[in-house]
Amino acid sequence: MTSPTRRRRTRQAAPAGPDARGTEIEVEVGPVAHGGHCVARHEGRVVFVRHALPGERVVARVTEGAEGARFWRADAVRVLTADADRVEPPCPVARPGLCGGCDFQHVAPARQRGLKAAVVAEQFRRLAGTELEVTVEEVPGAGSDGLRWRTRTQFAVDAEGRTGLRGHRSHQVVAVQDCPISTTGVVGSGVLASRFGNVETVEVATGSDGAAPLVVVTPEPGTHAHLPKLPDASVAVRTAEGLHRVSGRTWVGERVTVRGREHTFRVGGAGFWQVHPGAPAVLGEAVLAALEPRPGEHAVDLYSGVGLFTALLADAVGAEGSVLAVEGDERAVRDARKSLHELAQVELWAGAVEEALQDGELTARRTDLVVLDPPRSGAGRAVVEAIAALAPRAVAYVACDPAALARDTASFAERGYVLDGLRAFDLFPMTHHVECVARFVRA
């Protein structure tokens, strides 16, 4: 397997001449690319076109780029030849120049999964030198129309105090009365019909235990937030010291059933929890299937959050086995302690994964299994090398960015661990995001 390409990438079309923004060009749209756009060419220049589908002929309006720049970004504003999978976006602000939250509202849900599969395959070809047949699986727990699945949504607040969503690559806030990909619980929390003062963001989280949604407000720096009355929600304010309770609870309760057993979790504030209601069970099952844990085995859960995979693995390895969980967010570790206190085979470490993997207490132990679920940037070469040094029988890697996963796959291969299966899940319908679970074993 080849080593990963580490080319420096320009995040923005460099200003190399007169501003081209607003220029309209007619293009034939090429393949989908990572990031929610397709690739087109205009007079030899690459143009990343949003709101389009491969094979379409569109008029695209340039949104970023200058005359001499290597590439432009653009929005398809008129469709001259439409693909058969083009649909009317269900959300009125999922349009060029408006909300940047959804990338694929103009695409039928099954085709969205096809586009994501093509992106995952392309990232593995480019960054891991691996040819893969990828299928992106639909996830139960929400409707098959791709709407009302998001159990956690962060809203921005505009100058008038209205909640909304940001434009694509923009600070502009588009005020909204609804967000059709968010659950009715999020929308029903009342934040979209309210006005806030001195507030930067309003996060709403709904749990699966049926309790009222939790609204976490972050004030503008150095100010005190003015809050509306939200009788149908718990409310907390994020301060430098932590979460300040205004009303109700400062946490959300989650229930997950995997292999016939129900687990309950407490997720403090707007702490990390998968946003699709079907995600915890589907990912939990995929991790168990990838690791095939046996009673008495010893597992390590890296980037463990509030302990979702820790609990499932603890069940599977039983009282004779062990699970060591490592998580950097101390509040998440406290939540895990509350949820998992009955499992004597679980040990929770608060701290950086990078440091834990160098700790003699861990490196001297027998480790049979590792699950890792890093943030978007991936684990990185040093973490991958340290995992391989533990010599586990199998590794399950849960990834929300296929590019980072493909890069880390190349690092695993260099350390003698080969990719032995990959599943991809549509946990974020209407957006370009896709979640993967990869299994690695010793070559």
Ligand X SMILES: C[S@@+](CC[C@H](N)C(=O)[O-])C[C@H]1O[C@@H](n2cnc3c(N)ncnc32)[C@H](O)[C@@H]1O
List residues near ligand X by CB under 6 A: 272-274, 303-305, 308-309, 326-329, 332, 352-354, 373, 375
Separation CA 275–CA 361 (nearest Å): 34
Q: In angstroms, what is the minimal distance from the CB of 431 to ligand X? A: 16
Residue nearest to ligand X (CB): 305
Is 99 one of the annotated active-site residues of the chain?
A: no
Provide the minimum distance between the beta carbon of 151 and ligand X in the complex, in angstroms, as a whole number: 13
CB neighbour list of residue 421: distance below 8 Å, 6 or more residues apart:
290, 438, 439
What six digits make up the tokens of 23?
A: 């220029």
Nearer to ligand X, 20 or 356 (CB): 356
3-state secondary structure of 185: helix
Give the Cα-Cα-Cα angle 9, 352, 391 (nearest 5 degrees). Answer: 90
Residue 2: DSSP 8-state: P
Q: Of 182, 353, 154, 299, which is closest to residue 238 (Cα–Cα)?
A: 154
| Least distance (Å) between residue 330 CB and ligand X | 9
- H or E element that contains 115: helix 109-128
Measured from the CB of residue 438, what is the shortest distance to ligand X in angstroms?
14
Least Cβ distance, residue 307 to ligand X (angstroms)? 8
Query: Of 287, 60, 278, 294, which Cα lies nearest the Cα of 151?
Result: 278
Is the Cβ of residue 130 or residue 208 nearer to ligand X in the bound state? Answer: 208
**Smallest distance, ligand X to C-beta of residue 397, A:** 11
- Closest CB to ligand X among 185 and 305? 305
Nearer to ligand X, 65 or 305 (CB): 305
Out of 38, 91, 99, 400, which one is annotated catalytic? 400
- Give the shortest CB-352-to-ligand X separation in angstroms: 4
Name the DSSP class of 212.
P
Nearer to ligand X, 303 or 440 (CB): 303
Helix (H, G, I), strand (E, B) or coil at 306: coil
**Residue whose CB is less far from ligand X, 127 or 357:** 357
Instruction: Say which DSSP state 214 is in.
Output: E
Residue 53: which residues within 8 A CB-CB, separation 6 or more? 29, 38, 82, 83, 85, 86, 106, 107, 111
Q: Which amino acid is at 303?
A: Y
CA 127 → CA 233, 282, 416, distances in Å?
45, 27, 17
Say if strands 71-81 and 45-50 run parallel, antiparallel, or are unpaired.
parallel
Residue-by-residue DSSP string for 380-394: -HHHHHHHHHT--SE
274 vs 322 by CB, closer to ligand X: 274
Alpha-carbon span 161 to 226, nearest angstrom: 10
Residue whose token pair is 């057993």: 261
Question: Which residues have a catalytic role annotated?
Answer: 400
